[in-house]
Structure 1
Amino acid sequence: MDTPVDGVISRMRALDATLHPRDGVAVFNRVYLAVTEAVDRYVDTGRFADPHAAITLDVRFAQRYLEAVEAVAAERRPPACWRPLFQLRRHPGVRPLQFALAGINAHIGHDLALAVVDTCRTLGCVPADLEDEFDAVGDLLVSLEERIREDLMPGPDLLQIADPLTHLLGSWSLERARDAAWTAARALWALRELPDIAGEFTEHLDTAVGLAGRMLLTPLQR
């Protein structure tokens, strides 16, 4: 039986078919598609204690990314966290691993916290009720990070850039980003009755994550 996650997967596959394989957005989309397919398998095999909550969180999370894609396609400005990836998506000096991690940075660092709040509002719950689902998805992402780094790290023929690339990417951690996202989600939920302050918090979060993304996409000598 199809779930809303299957609809998200279909949209990502359709997007992948329209993009050049070396497009930076395509690189991230393939990574995120693999993650979403893994979440779908978790749902199908009963790995989530609350499948409905997990599906809702996953779909709300994915919608943030897909809305950024749609904004760019419509020539609107995406959130600041996504702008570096879209602006540098075809830069010849940026490696595939950088594109992948910059997309993950935007999605985890900014979108995940907002998706938790979206899910709480949809389900009428509080962030603590979603902690198990949040951790399960986060653990899946962390487990895939090492594989992503291994698959996309330049080979021996590109050792001249491997050292600066390793140094650059060593400054960012998915696990730390996930922990920060959980803290941000709880803060935003606590501020839900103070929309002006919550808006400022979200704007600053967006800007800060975008700055980190621009750092991750520093062009390296080919």
Structure 2
Amino acid sequence: MIARTIDEVLTALEEIIADCTRNNNRAGYFAMVYYCTTLRVKKDILLNNFEDGPRMEQFDVLFANYYLQAWHQWQKNQPPAAAWKIAFETATQTPAILMQHLLLGMNAHINLDLGAAAVETMRGDRLQHLQRDFNSINAILGAMIDKVQENIGKISPLMGLLDLHARNHDELLVQFSINLARDGAWRFAQELNSKTAADYPVFLAARDNCIAQLGKNLANPRGLLLKYTLKAIRATENQPPAKIINLLKVL
């Protein structure tokens, strides 16, 4: 479905969460965090916490539709964006820890979708007028991820072992940063906004391929010690995905 309002986005996310819960699909981890993020965005719109509330709702809806479209394409065995394909494949086929699933969703949605949604929102207007609210939506998503990390011991008791690899600057799984992703997404939006109609889809496809490669690195880190660490963390994440999805809502 294509959402037209933030309430329709929330309804669509509820349906995805319900489907993932029924099927013990780990794709529901990101969907639940994204649902909580969207609830927060809606609340802040109602509280006039953005520069332009109606524009922010439009931005949020356009942003969400990239994810919703990718999800429904995947469900219909149609090819979604390559970055989303990695996230969905990992959720159903590859053993990965909770944080990997969340980062794969953020990798596709921030690094690919966010910039495209910004350009679409501001078509015919100056892109820089959106920058403050662009940063705000990232801050909300980042706050939600921080909240999960602060309370993640309830779900993943050994997650703290990842800190042992903090100096491994070559591994995206350890070094992934919401702020860096946001800054990269804004630069991408600026570049995309400068493209002609003919160049636009070519540039977007190239970006998708690049972000998909980052997703592969997130899903399959190279370091042997990190692989052993992930295996140990995964062994303690032994609750059914449906229960973890529900716990993420509580968090």
TM over 0.5: yes
* Residue 161 to residue 91, structure 1, CA distance change in 2 (3 Å): farther
**Residue among 84, 103, 106 paired with 1:104:** 106
* Residue 39 to residue 161, structure 1, CA distance change in 2 (3 Å): closer
Could you say what secondary structure the match of 2:59 adopts? helix
* Residue 92 to residue 204, structure 1, CA distance change in 2 (3 Å): closer
Q: Which residue of 1 aligns with 2:5?
A: 4
Q: Which residue of 2 aligns with 1:40?
A: 42
Q: Which residue of 1 aligns with 2:120?
A: 118
- 1:183 and 2:187 equivalent? yes
Could you list the runs of 5+ residues in structure 1 that have no partner in the other structure?
none
* Residue 23 to residue 45, structure 1, CA distance change in 2 (3 Å): same
Amino acid at match of 1:185: A
Could you say what secondary structure the match of 1:181 adopts? helix
In 2, are the aligned partners of 1:142 and 1:174 still within 8 Å (CA)? yes
Q: Which residue of 2 aligns with 1:143?
A: 143
Please state how far the C-alpha of 1:166 moved relative to its aligned partner: 9.6
Amino acid at match of 2:34: Y
* Residue 111 to residue 148, structure 1, CA distance change in 2 (3 Å): same
In 1, are the aligned partners of 2:27 and 2:91 still within 8 Å (CA)? yes
Q: Which residue of 2 aligns with 1:174?
A: 178
- 1:57 and 2:59 equivalent? yes
Please state how far the C-alpha of 1:46 moved relative to its aligned partner: 1.2
Amino acid at match of 1:140: I
* Residue 208 to residue 152, structure 1, CA distance change in 2 (3 Å): farther
Q: In the aligned structure 1, how far is the partner of 2:190 from the partner of 2:184?
A: 10
Q: In the aligned structure 2, how far is the partner of 1:136 from the partner of 1:159?
A: 28
Please state how far the C-alpha of 1:161 moved relative to its aligned partner: 7.3
In 1, are the aligned partners of 2:29 and 2:102 still within 8 Å (CA)? yes
Q: In the aligned structure 2, how far is the partner of 1:76 from the partner of 1:204?
A: 19
Q: In the aligned structure 2, how far is the partner of 1:166 from the partner of 1:18?
A: 39
Could you say what secondary structure the match of 1:208 adopts? helix
* Residue 129 to residue 115, structure 1, CA distance change in 2 (3 Å): same
* Residue 27 to residue 64, structure 1, CA distance change in 2 (3 Å): same
Deviations 1:61-94 (A, max 9, x none): 0000000001011110000110111111134620
Q: Which residue of 2 aligns with 1:80?
A: 82
* Residue 160 to residue 52, structure 1, CA distance change in 2 (3 Å): closer
Q: In the aligned structure 2, how far is the partner of 1:91 from the partner of 1:160?
A: 24
In 2, are the aligned partners of 1:110 and 1:209 still within 8 Å (CA)? yes
Could you say what secondary structure the match of 2:175 adopts? coil
Please state how far the C-alpha of 1:172 moved relative to its aligned partner: 1.3
In 1, are the aligned partners of 2:166 and 2:175 still within 8 Å (CA)? no
Q: In the aligned structure 2, how far is the partner of 1:60 from the partner of 1:159?
A: 35
CA RMSD between the two structures? 2.4
Of 101-110 and 200-209, deviating more is: 200-209
Amino acid at match of 2:65: Q
